[in-house]
Chain A
Amino acid sequence: MEAVDSLFHGFAVALTAQNIMYMVVGILLGVLIGVLPGLGGANGVAILLPLTFSMSPTSAIIMLSCIYWGALFGGAITSILFNIPGEPWSVATTFDGFPMARAGRAGEALTAAFTSSFVGALIAVIVLTFLAPIIAEFSLRFGPAEFFAVQLLTFCSFVGLGGGSPWKTVASMMLGFALAAVGIDTVTGQLRMTFGSVEMIRGFDFLVAVIGLFGVGEILLTMEEGLAFKGERPKINARVVLDTWKELPRYWITSLRGAFIGCWMGITPGGATPASFMSYGLAKRFSKNGPQFGSGHIEGVVAPETAAHAAGTSALLPMLTLGIPGSPTAAVLLGGLLIWGLQPGPMLFIEQPDFVWGLIASMYLGNVVGLIIVLTTVPWWAAILRVPFSVVGPVIVVICSIGAYTVHNAFLDIVLMLVFGVVGYVFKKLQYPLAPLVLALVLGDMAESAFRQSMILSGGSLSIFWSNGLVSSITALAIFVLFWPQISAGIARLVSGRAAKQNSPGD
């Protein structure tokens, strides 16, 4: 097995004392980011990204991806102990996690959440290990038309699978594409939408947008909700952990289903948040414990956590193989790759095997390290949450402003960050999704050049997206996903119509 050989090579790269240290630092920072309101995976990584410019790319990506795993773990802590989701994907964890904590079973709920996260991530990394080389090799055959079709699929998934108003999703996405186009046109070198301003030539950096939208926007929301962290104290010890571990294998179907949903939603960028809700909903429907969900059943913690972590992890698969991130945090990591001078996509596996396999191996190790760290340090994180928000809030704003400045050493970026913060606050409240905006801002240039190259090849005809089996099946899938809500409603109507017909004569 070629993948296994490469993986072992990757372990050799990742298992140096220095990289393990970065891993531990990354996980600790990540849990901190996941626990604090206003800081999350995406903007946390965005703020810390400039600090890694001087590190070797492999060490840097190991540390940054570990921040991401840490943030995924950390989100569960606040959900369970404080009923406040630290991250959007842990909202579903509060449904059963917090009732468990109030019933004095916080230790059990936390152990279940962390272990499920770990299982979800592990399954997703295994999928990634074996699927990534295949997809990378396959995508070597891609031309510009195929690349644009894949991007179309990505963006159609947001509209079709993201839930919420499709028009708002499209509007938010197109705003991202428009912002991405500001500055110098990469093909002709012409200036676009600079309106005579020199500062505008640089364009909008998505890192600044991420820090503003997710960081400052989130803090403004937190201020509005007036958070007072009143939570349960965790009692967690080796006995509770072992007892919970004995119980967990009973819910293997829920875990497996959650992991599957997570992998699917991570690869086609539905994201961790819908994956966690979907997994919770399906578990509630199919489990024999379903009626007890919501009152503090451990299975209700297992389902969303497995899916969220699987989705978060598998979001890196399309980022590495196609250069198309499956989540905002993956998008930030992709931005990092570009800054370190690495071109994501199929060639990465051929040209930078150390980097790719070192990263994949670090995903195995990082999650083991993460599980151990979070299980042993939970009380400490809970204590941090007791620091009032009127202290933490402004400190986070200061850190965000520094993060925004360090991207380009441009002061204007701090101002832009505040503007994006207000936009993020308003968009969140009006339920405009932010992830499509960020992804469009990241992928704008790539999508545009793929589209233009396709147009040049075809002489301006859109039929190039139907010109061969490969590209037409991707385009067809994209259109299918785009109209998925209508299609699934149609199927449901057909099925219920038939069922009604079958039932009526019997009645």
Chain B
Amino acid sequence: MSESKGESEHGGVSVRTLEIVVAAALMGLAAVVMYDNWITGARWGADGPQAGYFPFYVALLMLISAGMVLLRALPLAAPRRRFVEPSKFRPVLALLIPSMVYVVFAAYLGVYVAAAIYLTYFMFVVGRYKAAVVAPVAIGVPIVLFLLFEVWFLVPLPKGPLEYWLGY
């Protein structure tokens, strides 16, 4: 196969594989929901339907419909299409992974400092900008957000050591 190089690099997930994985995950989730609601009580109680009644049947429908999606995805007849080209998936991860790190940072350093670090990283590494361009954006945006939320709208956001040191 001509695409084998890309596949060995990233495992080249096909649309079909992902269809099956997602449908199976939905079925698994539905099964968990059904089980939990059956324990809660999905039958007819003394004064009407029990608490698990509605979600139980919702999950049953989810199980059936995801099952149908799975059945339709199984035949191999359809031409094999890649879910995402590896070269195009790299930028997706380039955004997703720093975003996850940003969330972790935000928990300890507060949203504003984490945002500054995140913007700096992204503009330097992905955007390849010069420091003269990066600095105003990476520092300016958190300051504007700070003024907007903490000062004007009085909506407190997660803060870290820097803000406490500044007296907020």
A interface residues (Cβ-Cβ under 8 A, vs B): 50-51, 54, 165, 167-168, 170-171, 174-175, 177-178, 181, 185, 187-188, 190, 192-193, 195, 216, 219-220, 223-226, 388, 390-391, 393-395, 397-399, 401-402, 405-406, 409, 411, 414-415, 418, 421-422, 425-427, 429-430, 432, 448, 451-452, 455-456, 460
Alpha-carbon distance A135/B92, docked complex (angstroms): 46
Of the candidates B33, B119, B127, the one having the most CB atoms from chain A within 10 angstroms of its own CB is: B33
Out of B61, B62, B141, B158, name the residue touching A395 (CB < 8 Å).
B141
Within 8 A of A (CB), among B1-53: 15, 18-19, 22-23, 26, 29-30, 33, 36-37, 40-41, 44, 47-53
> Cβ of A195: which chain B residues have Cβ within 8 Å of it?
36
Out of A170, A394, A405, A414, name the residue touching B65 (CB < 8 Å).
A170
- Say whether, besides A192-B36, A223-B91, A430-B15, A177 and B141 are in contact (CB < 8 Å): no
Interface presence of B166 (CB below 8 A):
no
Alpha-carbon distance A244/B8, docked complex (angstroms): 55
> Cβ of A225: which chain B residues have Cβ within 8 Å of it?
88
Alpha-carbon distance A226/B92, docked complex (angstroms): 9
Out of A51, A177, A226, A397, name the residue touching B99 (CB < 8 Å).
A397
- Say whether, besides A181-B58, A405-B111, A430-B19, A224 and B49 are in contact (CB < 8 Å): no
Decide if A397 touches B95 in the complex (CB within 8 Å): yes
> Cβ of A185: which chain B residues have Cβ within 8 Å of it?
51
Q: How many of chain B's residues have a CB under 8 angstroms from any CB in A?
A: 67
> Cβ of B141: which chain A residues have Cβ within 8 Å of it?
395, 398
The number of inter-chain residue pairs (CB within 8 angstroms) is: 171
> Nearest CB to that of B103 among chain A residues?
A414
Interface presence of B78 (CB below 8 A):
no
> Cβ of A226: which chain B residues have Cβ within 8 Å of it?
88, 91
Q: How far is the CB of B77 from chain A (nearest CB, A)?
A: 17
Decide if A167 touches B65 in the complex (CB within 8 Å): yes
The 8 closest A-B pairs by CB, nearest first: A390-B127, A174-B62, A170-B65, A181-B55, A456-B48, A167-B68, A190-B51, A171-B65
Q: How far is the CB of A442 from chain B (nearest CB, A)?
A: 15
Decide if A178 touches B149 in the complex (CB within 8 Å): no
Q: How far is the CB of B166 from chain A (nearest CB, A)?
A: 19
> Nearest CB to that of A165 among chain B residues?
B69
A-B contact pairs, 27 of them (CB 8 A): A165-B69, A168-B69, A174-B61, A181-B37, A185-B51, A192-B52, A193-B33, A195-B36, A220-B95, A224-B91, A391-B127, A393-B122, A394-B98, A395-B141, A398-B115, A398-B119, A398-B141, A401-B106, A402-B157, A418-B99, A418-B103, A430-B18, A432-B22, A451-B54, A452-B48, A455-B48, A455-B49
B64-75 Cβ-contact flags toward A at 8 Å (1 or 0): 011011001000
Decide if B84 touches A224 in the complex (CB within 8 Å): yes
> Cβ of B106: which chain A residues have Cβ within 8 Å of it?
401, 411, 414
Decide if B55 touches A178 in the complex (CB within 8 Å): yes
Decide if B49 touches A456 in the complex (CB within 8 Å): yes
> Cβ of A395: which chain B residues have Cβ within 8 Å of it?
119, 137, 141
Of the candidates B48, B83, B98, B122, the one having the most CB atoms from chain A within 10 angstroms of its own CB is: B48
> Nearest CB to that of A448 among chain B residues?
B54
Decide if B99 touches A216 in the complex (CB within 8 Å): yes
Alpha-carbon distance A171/B126, docked complex (angstroms): 37
Interface presence of B76 (CB below 8 A):
no
Decide if B33 touches A178 in the complex (CB within 8 Å): yes
> Nearest CB to that of B104 among chain A residues?
A415
Of the candidates B19, B51, B153, the one having the most CB atoms from chain A within 10 angstroms of its own CB is: B51
Knowing that A175-B26, A220-B95 touch, tell me 20 more A-B residue pairs with CB under 8 angstroms.
Answer: A171-B23, A171-B62, A174-B61, A178-B58, A223-B92, A224-B88, A225-B88, A391-B123, A391-B127, A395-B119, A397-B95, A397-B102, A398-B118, A401-B111, A402-B157, A405-B111, A405-B157, A409-B156, A426-B18, A429-B18
Alpha-carbon distance A192/B149, docked complex (angstroms): 35
Alpha-carbon distance A397/B141, docked complex (angstroms): 12
